[in-house]
C-alpha cells in the first residue's frame, strides 16, 4: 500500500512539475482553441466532432474553433463559431446548423481552466437552441505555445421544448500567442 501511494505521489509530482504555465495566460496574450467533443450531441457546437450511427446510416459532423483574449492574468474573454450538419439517416429530416459561443475562461493557479459561456445555434428547422455552458479541466502546457486541455462540460438548455441538457467530455488543443 505504501509503495502504491509513493508511486502515485511521484506521478502527480511529475505531472504538476512538467505542466506548469510559463506566462501563456498573462494579460494581453491570445489563445486559439479547437476542441474535440465526446458525449451527448448538442445542436450548438463549436468543437470538432464526427459521429456515425450504425443503426440507420445517419451521421453528425461539426467543425468549429474559439478565440480568446486575456483581459487580465489568467482570465480570457472568448468567442467561438461552428458549422454542423446532421443526417439522421433513412427518411428522417436532416439539418445544418451555425453555432456561436461567447464566454469567459479562467485558469485557477494557472493550470486548471474553468469556463462559463452562453452558446446557441441557428438551424434549418426553426428550432434555434441556446444553452448556458460550464466546463472545467486541466491544462498540460507543452512548451510556450501549446497546451492540451482535457475537461468535462455541461450545457444547460435554456429552451427544453426542442433540446435537452448535454454532458460532454472535451479535449482542447490550444495555441497561445
Domains defined for the chain, CATH in brackets: 2-176 (2.40.160.20)
Q: Supply the pLDDT for residue 51.
A: 76
Whether the model pTM is above 0.85: no
Q: Supply the pLDDT for residue 126.
A: 74
Q: What is the mean pLDDT of each run of 10 residues along the chain (177 residues)?
A: 66 55 87 83 73 73 92 96 80 79 95 94 80 94 92 87 78 93
- Cα distances from 108 to residues 68, 77, 113, 138, in angstroms, run 16, 15, 6, 10
Q: Supply the pLDDT for residue 54.
A: 66
The DSSP symbol for 164 reads -
Q: Supply the pLDDT for residue 74.
A: 95
Do residues 60 and 50 lie in contact, with contact meaning Cβ atoms separated by under 8 Å?
yes
Amino acid at each position: 500500500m505504501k509503495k502504491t501511494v509513493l508511486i502515485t505521489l511521484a506521478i502527480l509530482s511529475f505531472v504538476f512539475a512538467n505542466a506548469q504555465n510559463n506566462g501563456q495566460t498573462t494579460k494581453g496574450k491570445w489563445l486559439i482553441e479547437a476542441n474535440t467533443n465526446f458525449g451527448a450531441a448538442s445542436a450548438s457546437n463549436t468543437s470538432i466532432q464526427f459521429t456515425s450511427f450504425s443503426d440507420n446510416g445517419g451521421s453528425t459532423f461539426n467543425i468549429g474553433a474559439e478565440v480568446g483574449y486575456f483581459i487580465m492574468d489568467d482570465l480570457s474573454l472568448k468567442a467561438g463559431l461552428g458549422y454542423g450538419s446532421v443526417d439522421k439517416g433513412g427518411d428522417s429530416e436532416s439539418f445544418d446548423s451555425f453555432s456561436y459561443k461567447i464566454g469567459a475562461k479562467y485558469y485557477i493557479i494557472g493550470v486548471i481552466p474553468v469556463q462559463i459561456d452562453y452558446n446557441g445555434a441557428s438551424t434549418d428547422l426553426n428550432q434555434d437552441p441556446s444553452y448556458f455552458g460550464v466546463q472545467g479541466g486541466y491544462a498540460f502546457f507543452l512548451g510556450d505555445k501549446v497546451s492540451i486541455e482535457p475537461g468535462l462540460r455541461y450545457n444547460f438548455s435554456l429552451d427544453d421544448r426542442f433540446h435537452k441538457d448535454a454532458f460532454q467530455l472535451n479535449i482542447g488543443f490550444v495555441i497561445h500567442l
